Amino acid sequence: MRRIWILHGPNIRFIGRGRESKWYGTESWEGFWPALQTRYQGVAELSYFESAYEGQLIEWVWQTEAYDGLILNPGALAHSSYALYDALLGCGKPCIEVHVSPIYRREAFRRRLITAAACKGVISGLGWYGYELAVQALLHLMREGSEASAS
């Protein structure tokens, strides 16, 4: 069974609790998380951590040796954190970046994703469903990787 670590950056916890429902919807992570875990039970072990602090996220990225892949929603740090980018490049694990809101339909500064360049892919604008797609993408990448190493 694959182990996937989901990391959230600043302000994700406020989605579904009054944070710009126009962009983020009304469902909270706490409302979505149990369904995601249930959906992948027996296929992937999902773990979740959240921090508003850039340094903590970087420390967690460097602690991924027990995991097969990473899903990261860095929040606004996606637009500014070269340190998080460097950690993602160096950790040696595949990462999918997820953004709940449609970043390319929002303010211009949100369209520049520094951290995305260190990730295998980016999912944006599909709400919490983006996390399900990210799990599927990581599982696919891991299958491809294990098949290639078996050849």
Residues labelled as active-site residues: 24, 99
Which residues touch 144 (CB under 8 Å, ≥6 apart)? none
Pairing of strands 44-50, 95-99: unpaired
Residue type, 97: E
Phi, psi of 140 (to 5 degrees): -65, -50
At 8 the three-state DSSP class reads: strand
Best CA proximity match to 113, nearest among 142, 56, 72: 72
Determine the distance from the C-alpha atom of residue 86 to the mean position of all C-alpha atoms in its chain, rounded to a whole number.
16
What are the structure tokens assigned to 119, written together? Answer: 């990730």
